[in-house]
Amino acid sequence: MSRARTQIRFLAGALAASLAAACLQPAQAESGVSAPASVVQANEAKGLKSAVFAGGCFWGMEAVFSHVKGVSSVVSGYEGGKRSDAHYEIVSSGTTAHAEAVRITYDPAVVRYDQLLQVFFSVASDPTQLNRQYPDTGTQYRNAIVPLSPEQARVATAYLAQLKKAGLWKRPIVTAVEPNRGFFAAEDYHQDFALKNPDHGYIRMWDVPKVAALKRTFPGLWKPDFTRG
């Protein structure tokens, strides 16, 4: 992808924001939803683990999870499609099976997988938006959990069922649990994007509020330093 498309993303975000304001619908990104703790807790062996989540633009997903204690790396990338299609210009066309996603490296002794799921549903994305996330539309912005182990699959499936019964959102949850077809890191200029571009219009409009919601909603998991990918 060219940097020009990055600017297009910002302009689309600004337009969507103005439309939302006109409809008197406050963006969820500004307030978040306090999802309950998972009844089924993860029980993973000692040592660093990885998790993959897709939830709209990876800039915001990366920004949120980079401020979670126990997370040592967050990489923006693509999941769901072929390696040959894992390029921003192609993924942005919406013609691949890829979704923008993040791969999180974490220490389960500090933050459990089910707690990462709680953060994901509470402040990182809106699980009721089908093939879109706020200003961004297309299957590449779908909401998905990609378990990387049987234990993650067990916990993710149970938590998704728990949230669907809780009725926290006015619309149905559309988040899917997808098989692991491989994760492919995005281009270098996408990595640590919020850290490197704090005044970028898209970041300020859509992602800074998510990070603020993380700090407010999960003070016990919050860390001020940004974890570089």
**Spatial CA neighbour of 110 closest among 33, 39, 42:** 42
**For the range 7-10, what are the long-range contacts, defined as Cβ-Cβ under 8 Å and sequence gap of 24 or more?**
9/57, 9/135, 9/136, 9/202, 10/200, 10/201, 10/202, 10/205
Q: Which of 16, 57, 68, 111 is catalytic?
A: 57
Beta-carbon contacts of residue 29 (< 8 Å; ≥ 6 apart): 60, 126, 134, 206, 207, 209, 210, 213
Query: 226 and 66 in contact (C-beta within 8 Å)?
Result: yes
Active-site residue, 23 included = no
Q: Is the CB of residue 120 less than 8 Å from the CB of residue 33?
A: no
- Parallel, antiparallel, or unpaired for β 176-177 and 143-146? parallel
Instruction: Please give the positions annotated as active site.
Output: 57
